[in-house]
Amino acid sequence: MSSLSSSAPRGWDAAESPFHAAEIVAQRRAGVTEEAASNGRRGIRRHMPDQHRQFFSEQPFMVFGGLDANGQPWATLRAAEAGFVSSPDARTLRIDGGVLPGDPLAGRWQPGMMIGGLGLQAQTRRRNRVNGVVSSVEGDTVMLEVMQSFGNCAKYIQSRTPTFVARGETSTRTPVETATQLSDADRALLANADTFFIASANVGEEAGPARGADVSHRGGMPGFVRIDDATTLTTPDFSGNRFFNTLGNLLHNPRVGLLFVDFASGDLLYVAALAEIVWDGPELADFPLAERLVRFRITEVRRSRKALPFRWSEVAYAPQFVTAASVPASLSDSLPTPSLGSPWKKLRIAAVHDETPMIRSFYFESTDGAPLPAYEPGQYLPIRVPVDGLDKPLTRAYTLSDASNRQQYRITVKRDGVGSSWLHERFAAGMQVEAMAPRGAFTYDSASPRLAVFISAGIGITPMITMLHHAMAAYEPQTPPKPLYFFHGARSDGDRPFSAHLRELASHHPAVSIHLFDSAAAPATHAPSGTVPGRVSVAEIKRALPFDDYDFYLCGPESFMRELYEGLRALNVADSRIRFEAFGPATVKRTPAIPPAVQQDARGAQLANVPESAEGGIPVTFARSHRTVQWRPKDGTLLEFAEACGIAAQSSCRSGMCGTCSTRVLNGHVAYEEPTDAAIDAGHALICMGRPVAGDAVATDGLSLEL
């Protein structure tokens, strides 16, 4: 828990500015002095909010910036299983190991060293910053005293998901390669780069509380790093948070350290350079969206091969770049259709396949042959269908039931209700349907070191078989695969989709343990090979699982979900290791208590602390779509809840700093987990931080909620 009380100061609590003189010069040159001063004092803190502390602890890597013995800034990475970064209190960050081969700051992690830190979750495009000074070092454990902390917006972050791959101590690594200019391999990496990190610093005493090292993220389409020659690079500087931390540091000290990641090989390319800011001129026209340029004169290059222990999913480019104006001509044929205007895009039905008499799979492909957006195993596809007799199309969300291959989506739908009946009766190969990009928070944690157990019933099999396929695809060649456990219950084997496929997996993959149950079969009945009469239960799961540490994934109808969750908790399985999603009106209540929350009413007035929610769900009405859905604590913020319901909502920082998500409140109350930084207009709420309050009915006009 934080050592700060609920009365902790909001924003910057010092008399001096959070910016040093050179940062203010850069802000003045860009014409944002007043904006930066106001937002800086509101958004920069001398402690970490609890949300940021938790965020850092959930990441398997973190980017750092600091100075070597010669005063040269370097950007570097530390990586390990999530949890290697933690926060004992709101002013301390603890880093346990994660040192990678070739770290240019090796030997410099000592008390008094100034460090800039960047936590980045690429798959959700979230990032938070922390700058401070090393207070103590014991072995590979570093304690960092926080001097500045603030959130960043999601702009320009390319979405890709890392999977941590632990490497043994005997892993062979080549020595770090050093040079004074770029090699052909380096130039190839930079030419295709869509991301890099930049470290800079102002450690002069005159900088006051703004002194220190800093590390920032830069993103763009491949080609945004222009290679002028073997020792010169030019990159665009896009509109960001307008604090100008990096450019301000460069005005004070032009020495920088750049870090490029080869996401395919795991190589890390470190570049030391002298930076020059190009504030204006005709050259800016060569870089769409650029507000200015930065030119780098290279002084040293280091390559550490296969240093980063991750596999990465395919990239989904940031929406700011997926436009005709910003995509290089050489890449325009290989990128997804730009996500401009409406979030609904056309897909073509490629095939329809009957899985059981009541369950049918539908295969979709893009209408123009472009790769489809990637998705995480467990996510769903929102689609809308023009049902006869209705004024507006029905919106439905169906879980994607096979691993992502960018060429084809598959959903598997049980005929049960108006929307699914329409799909079964009308959908045929060659037809087109409108769909949004895949989404959803119920996903497989491929970075977890624990064994996975997938448990489902009925049509709840769809996310589970996707997760199973993903986990199997991650098996390392020449390495014994980790066991996977798959339980599924159906009335009979004829009602079970993918039954033959599951048996085939079990016969060819000894590490995959399949357990199928037929609830309609009497105990004395001879069941089909590989099935067990009866229902999936905690007792059956205990009987089948050897003693070990597991992550449990659950999906199915209400009674099934409640029984399994409560049964696992009764066995002392931690709540955090039970992940679930329900099909239908499930009422599973998680065991942990909900902490009090800071509240504001529809007029922005502060309210006394009260519990975040009632025992049951809180009805949330999305007025524009005329939908009422039960919100529960597990659904997170109103923004997360809206996205999970397939409702598009504007957002940016997700930390209550930027105000992009401000939504008009028609009635009722919204609670905040912590004080927000952005100004909240009367009658509005920030949905990226807000949760509904029990006993109220709230309606907003932006998303149109009625809580």
Query: What is the CATH topology of the domain spanning 473-582?
Result: Rossmann fold (3.40.50)
What is the rounded CA–CA span in Å between residue 224 and residue 191?
Answer: 8
Could you tell me if 454 and 485 are in contact, meaning their C-beta atoms sit under 8 angstroms apart? yes
Q: Which residue has the tokens 């590390």?
A: 215
Sheet order of strands, 380-385 included? 394-399, 380-385, 432-435, 345-356, 359-366, 409-414
The three-class DSSP label of residue 229 is: strand
Q: Which CATH architecture fits 21-312?
A: Roll (2.30)
Residue 175: its pLDDT value, please? 82
Residue 680: its pLDDT value, please? 78
Domain boundaries, the chain: 21-312, 345-435, 473-582, 597-700
Written as one string, the DSSP assignment of 173-214 is -PPPEEESS--HHHHHHHHT--EEEEEEEE--GGGGGG-EEE
The CATH code of the domain at 597-700 is 3.10.20.30
Q: Which residues of 522-541 are buried (b: 16+ CB within 10 A; e: fewer)?
A: eeeeebeeebbebbbbbebb
What is the rounded CA–CA span in Å between residue 249 and residue 238?
Answer: 17
Residue 77: its pLDDT value, please? 96
Torsion of CA 89, 90, 91, 95, to 10 degrees: 60
pLDDT digits (tens, 9 = 90+) for 247-302: 999 999 999 999 999 999 999 999 999 999 999 888 887 888 888 999 999 999 99
Residue 638: its pLDDT value, please? 86
Q: Which two tokens stand for residue 74?
A: 């370097």
The CATH code of the domain at 345-435 is 2.40.30.10
| Phi–psi pair at 507, nearest 5 degrees | -75, -25
Could you tell me if 62 and 118 are in contact, meaning their C-beta atoms sit under 8 angstroms apart? yes
What separation, in Å, do the N-terminal and C-terminal C-alpha atoms of the chain show?
Answer: 29
**Cα Dmax for the chain:** 84
Residue 653: its pLDDT value, please? 59
pTM for this entry: 0.55
Torsion of CA 628, 634, 640, 643, to 10 degrees: -50
- Establish whether domains 21-312 and 345-435 are of one fold: no
Could you tell me if 403 and 443 are in contact, meaning their C-beta atoms sit under 8 angstroms apart? no
Angle of CA points 424, 622, 374, to nearest 5°: 55
Could you tell me if 103 and 40 are in contact, meaning their C-beta atoms sit under 8 angstroms apart? no
Residue 299: its pLDDT value, please? 97
The three-class DSSP label of residue 573 is: coil
What is the rounded CA–CA span in Å between residue 423 and residue 384?
Answer: 10
Q: Which two tokens stand for residue 547?
A: 């003693």
What is the rounded CA–CA span in Å between residue 167 and residue 162?
Answer: 15
Sheet order of strands, 669-672 included? 606-610, 597-601, 669-672, 690-692
Q: What is the mean pLDDT of each run of 10 residues along the chain (707 residues)?
A: 36 89 92 84 88 91 96 97 94 96 94 96 89 95 95 85 72 79 94 96 94 95 93 92 92 97 94 95 82 95 94 84 44 37 79 94 90 86 80 80 85 88 89 85 84 95 94 79 94 92 90 93 60 91 90 90 91 88 56 42 36 56 72 81 73 62 78 68 81 64 46
pLDDT digits (tens, 9 = 90+) for 413-461: 999 878 888 899 988 898 999 888 887 778 888 888 899 999 999 999 9
Residue 272: its pLDDT value, please? 98
